[in-house]
Structure 1
Amino acid sequence: MHRLGTSAAALLLTASLGAAQAGGAQPPAPGGGQVQAATPATVAATLREAGYTVTVNPVEGDDEPSLAVKAGDYELDVWFSGCKGTTCDRVTASTNWDYRDDEESLDTEFVNEWNGNFFTQAYVYEGGYYLDSTLTLRGGYTKVALRAWMEDYLGDVEDFEAELP
């Protein structure tokens, strides 16, 4: 009787899984529906649709793809990493404030305090402050998620700039 119960349960589970797949319960395919393929071209298109000015930078040698994005008063460097073929694992947005004329005023304590309270990453590099944010693209992304990431990043950019020493 125990074997019959196990076999019946296995048969019921198999039938349930088959019905779920037949009923369209599969995840959307990248590029179709909401999930976008994790490519620089789709990211650039989504950012343009959101109202940003996007320039696709030429890829030189072994460099990974990158974009120049104009968002209001801010000019952002956006680059991709973990690229294999046309798809990429991550996208990073970055902007900076040049303090080369006043490098002694650069404050690493300010940066460390920022990093303890925000998801964006701040750092001092080559005479300036930088603020970065990375979004994982592996497996695809939704336009809503990409737009929300960029809006959150730009909010942090404004806050960071307002707090600069």
Structure 2
Amino acid sequence: MGQGVSAERVNPGPSGVIPTPRWGTSGRVIPQSSSVRHTAGMKRSLLPLSLAAFSLSALAPAHAATAEVIDAKPASLVKVLGDEGYKPELRPGDDKTQPSIVLKANGDSVYLYFSGCKNGLCTRVTASNGFEFPKDKSGLAGKLASWNSQWYSQAYEDKDGVYLDASYMLTGSYTKANFVAWLGAYLDELDKFADELY
């Protein structure tokens, strides 16, 4: 044993095996009872770290499964809509107009207008649908204000009729699942709006 320490100074453990001596900073053997207290203290201080490591490892799979990120090209959105069973028609636009998509949903035409397009990429798409004015327009402003205070989509009155719009940002790309969820929410609101308008 080193530094003149004999095995007799270390008490055998419950199994009768003499534990390996632990050396302190002064070169002396640390008594077994002290090392047990020291180890127990370490276990208590390591517990929060162990729990933190476990909780982070539990979150890791959520970040590992990533969805496909889709670019902000109108043609890419046409593919997403086609994959979901819609029959989108792309209108490419020209020098004066931005691209747009027309599709049928629940028997109605829904228009998706792109904006901020440059070099084939667009910053936003807006779903829009128009309605004829209700026969009684006297409470229309109040209905629109009430709708706009409660729903994500926005209703407004124009000279041609009443419209319901909702915008979706394409800047920085998007996922198919997120866009499809947004469009589904808009279509649900479109049905509710028609019921409230008439």
Does the 8 Å contact 1:69/1:76 carry over to 2?
yes
Report the Cα offset of residue 44 of structure 1. 1.0
Report the Cα offset of residue 119 of structure 1. 0.5
Gaps of 5+ in 2: 1-62
% identical aligned pairs: 34
CA shift in 2, pair 1:49/1:123, >3 Å: same
The RMSD of aligned alpha carbons is: 2.2
Partner residue, 2:183: 150
| Structure with max Cα Rg | 2
**From 148, 171, 188, the counterpart of 1:115:** 148
Aligned residue identity for 2:152: F
3-state SS in 1 of match to 2:118: coil
Does the 8 Å contact 1:119/1:133 carry over to 2?
yes
Partner residue, 1:132: 165
3-state SS in 2 of match to 1:86: coil
Which structure carries more strand by proportion?
1
Distance 1:158 1:149 in 2: 15
Distance 1:87 1:144 in 2: 20
**From 81, 99, 118, the counterpart of 1:84:** 118
CA-to-partner distance for each residue in 1:3-60, whole Å, 9 max, x for gaps?
xxxxxxxxxxxxxxxxxxxxxx9xx8xxxx6100111001111011111121111413
Distance 2:96 2:147 in 1: 33
CA-to-partner distance for each residue in 1:73-94, whole Å, 9 max, x for gaps?
2211111111111111101000
**From 95, 99, 102, the counterpart of 1:68:** 102
Aligned residues: 135
Partner residue, 1:97: 131
Runs of 4+ in 1 over 2 A off after TM superposition: 102-106
Does the 8 Å contact 2:155/2:165 carry over to 1?
yes
Report the Cα offset of residue 162 of structure 1. 1.0
Distance 2:115 2:133 in 1: 28
Partner residue, 1:5: none
Distance 1:95 1:159 in 2: 13
Distance 1:75 1:133 in 2: 15
Gaps of 5+ in 1: 1-24
Does the 8 Å contact 1:106/1:128 carry over to 2?
no
Partner residue, 1:164: 197
Report the Cα offset of residue 115 of structure 1. 0.1
Does the 8 Å contact 2:156/2:164 carry over to 1?
yes
Distance 2:120 2:95 in 1: 15
* 2:75 equivalent to 1:41: yes
Does the 8 Å contact 1:55/1:68 carry over to 2?
yes
* TM-score, normalising length: structure 2: 0.63
**From 25, 45, 51, the counterpart of 2:85:** 51
Does the 8 Å contact 2:92/2:98 carry over to 1?
no
